[in-house]
Amino acid sequence: MKYFWIVVLLITIPIYAQQQDEKQIREIYKEALSNGKGYTWLNYLSNQIGARLSGSIQAEKAVSYTKSIMDSLGLDKVMLQPVKVPKWVRGIPEFAYLESSSGFTNNVPVRALGGSVATPMSGIKAKVVEVQGIEELKALGTSEIEGKIVFFNKPMDPTIIYTFDAYAKVADQRYSGAVEASKYGAVGVIVRSLTLRLDDFPHTGAMSYGDIPLENRIPAAAISTNGAELLSTSLKLNPDIQFFFRQNCKTLPDVESYNVIGEIRGSTYPDQIMVVGAHLDSWDLGDGSHDDGAGVVQSMEVLRLLKATGYKPKRTIRVVLYMNEENGLRGATTYAAEAGKKRENHIFALESDSGGFSPRGFTFDTDQGNFAKVLGWKKLFEPYMVHFFEQGFSGADIGPLKKDKIVLAGLRPDSQRYFDHHHSENDVFKHINKRELELGAAAMASLVYLFDTYGLNNSNN
């Protein structure tokens, strides 16, 4: 008889567990879709606060606002973690035109890249050399480049299905184009906006001069894709046209800012920490609704969903709203350094920084054993149209936490529209769909629930 009961238990415990999981996930989705708070929070963050570039007043308002939301959620701890951040300011609006002959000009939309130096107040006017990336620039060399503006015009490849991969293949033009072009005597850099659309929005983003001296730094701006097409066509008709641009952005001394952190303390393993994160800062052109306001409110919503469904986590679940992902990653590096100093045991970190679109799945950056364990949960997500579980890079802000045993995860929403908005004036609240945002938060909360319930692979917790 003893064996009979063991057999019964062996059969019924997993069935019971699966039913419990299904029930909890159903409750999470139900709460998210019928009573979700993220859309209202994001409306405030986007429309009452707006763009949140590191070091700006709006970034500080966003710190206060999200802290006040977390204070209202009945968490066990809410805190601000000091972070020194760079402060770059755009200044007066940029202005640019191409000049086919004296007096014949076409204005084109440009915006300074984040971190760029200014042009002289009178602007820069020079001939243009168009290249399809840094390799082509190097092949041309000083004789072709000296004294000119380099125009990086390699487009994102539309045939790549996952748009972030297309982005990654050409983003070096924006990040390193200026430092590379300056080696060959260029006087300025214009970069095709990193979007798959043809439109009039310049898309800014981070660039770096590395450690080259100040006097060698040349100004760099993004041009809209329609502007890039016009410039490229004009150059084919007449290689001698000139390009003018003016910008007066600058970098000020670093300022004090904060990561915003809130947590529910684990009932059984409080020292095992699970992070759910997103970045609070944004570029300054839109209001940062998709990048990454969506992730910010989804992360806070994860805590609210777990509490509202009556779930008591065994492990500590900590939301971290990182400051300065866009132009420095100082929040992420500070958080990881502090965690290291305190010898905190982070076992899991989930990031949402790919827009507030309909969730398709997750990436996981971890070892085979943990990935195999996670794959076992995939069927629980399929009724919610979440099908994609793959290994891969999972997020910039959680990256510094990477070590042997941790599972890093990234929410993967549908990527098709992301670069329509990314880093441009077009990243605004009206492009957020309430249900898509809520479904993302529910998927995240469900994954956090499962990880809290089952822990790392080969642990007894």
Q: Which one of 399, 436, 453, 457 is in contact with a copy of itself (CB under 8 A)?
A: 436
Residues 163 and 55: their CA atoms lie apart, in Å, by: 30
Of 144-152, 321-329, 337-345, 410-418, the segment contacting a copy of itself by CB under 8 A is 410-418
Residues 254 and 257: their CA atoms lie apart, in Å, by: 9
Q: Which one of 196, 264, 297, 407 is in contact with a copy of itself (CB under 8 A)?
A: 196
Closer by beta carbon to a copy of itself, 123 or else 413 = 413
| Secondary structure (DSSP) of 385-411 | T--EEEES---TTTGGG--TT-EEEEE
C-alpha atoms less than 13 angstroms from C-alpha of 338 in its C-beta half-sphere: 13
- Least distance CB 385 / a copy of itself (angstroms): 6
Of 105-113, 247-255, 366-374, 414-422, the segment contacting a copy of itself by CB under 8 A is 414-422
Site for a copy of itself, residues 344 to 403, rule: CB under 8 A:
358, 360, 383-385, 387-388
Amino acid at position 70, single letter: M
- Least distance CB 438 / a copy of itself (angstroms): 9
The 3-state DSSP class for residue 203 equals coil
- Least distance CB 377 / a copy of itself (angstroms): 16
| Secondary structure (DSSP) of 117-182 | PPPPTT-EEEEEEEESSHHHHHHHHHHHHTTSEEEE-PPP-TT-SSHHHHHHHHHHHHHHHHHHHH
Amino acid at position 88, single letter: W
Residues 257-286: x where in contact with a copy of itself by CB under 8 A, - otherwise, as a string: ------------------------------
Q: Which one of 197, 246, 279, 304 is in contact with a copy of itself (CB under 8 A)?
A: 197
Closer by beta carbon to a copy of itself, 163 or else 324 = 163
Q: Which two tokens stand for residue 358?
A: 């309909």
* Cα dihedral across residues 15, 20, 23, 29: positive or negative: negative
- Least distance CB 325 / a copy of itself (angstroms): 25
Pairing outcome for strands 220-223 and 77-89: unpaired
Buried b (16+ CB within 10 A) or exposed e, 41-80: bbbbbbeebbbbbbbbebbbebbebbbebbeebebeebee
What is the residue whose two structure tokens read 């409750």? 27
Task: Name 192's Cβ contacts closer than 8 Å, sequence gap at least 6.
Answer: 151, 152, 153, 154, 155, 173, 222, 223, 225, 228
Closer by beta carbon to a copy of itself, 30 or else 250 = 30
Output DSSP code: residue 94. Answer: P
Site for a copy of itself, residues 26 to 55, rule: CB under 8 A:
29-30, 33-34
Contact flag: residue 162 with a copy of itself (CB under 8 A): yes
Closer by beta carbon to a copy of itself, 159 or else 233 = 159
- Least distance CB 141 / a copy of itself (angstroms): 31
Q: Residue 458 region, left (φ>0) first, then alpha (ψ -120 to 50), else beta? A: left
- Least distance CB 1 / a copy of itself (angstroms): 43
Q: How many other C-beta atoms can be found within 10 angstroms of the C-beta atom of residue 335?
A: 26
- Least distance CB 36 / a copy of itself (angstroms): 9
Q: Which one of 102, 122, 159, 233 is in contact with a copy of itself (CB under 8 A)?
A: 159
- Least distance CB 354 / a copy of itself (angstroms): 13
Contact flag: residue 429 with a copy of itself (CB under 8 A): no
- If binding means CB under 8 A, how many residues of this protein chain bind a copy of itself? 27
Contact flag: residue 168 with a copy of itself (CB under 8 A): no
Residues 334 and 2: their CA atoms lie apart, in Å, by: 55
The 3-state DSSP class for residue 57 equals helix
Residues 112-141: x where in contact with a copy of itself by CB under 8 A, - otherwise, as a string: ------------------------------
Q: Which one of 10, 15, 121, 161 is in contact with a copy of itself (CB under 8 A)?
A: 161
Q: Which one of 60, 314, 414, 457 is in contact with a copy of itself (CB under 8 A)?
A: 414
Which residues are near a copy of itself by CB under 8 A? 29-30, 33-34, 158-159, 161-163, 196-197, 358, 360, 383-385, 387-388, 414, 416-417, 420, 433-436, 439
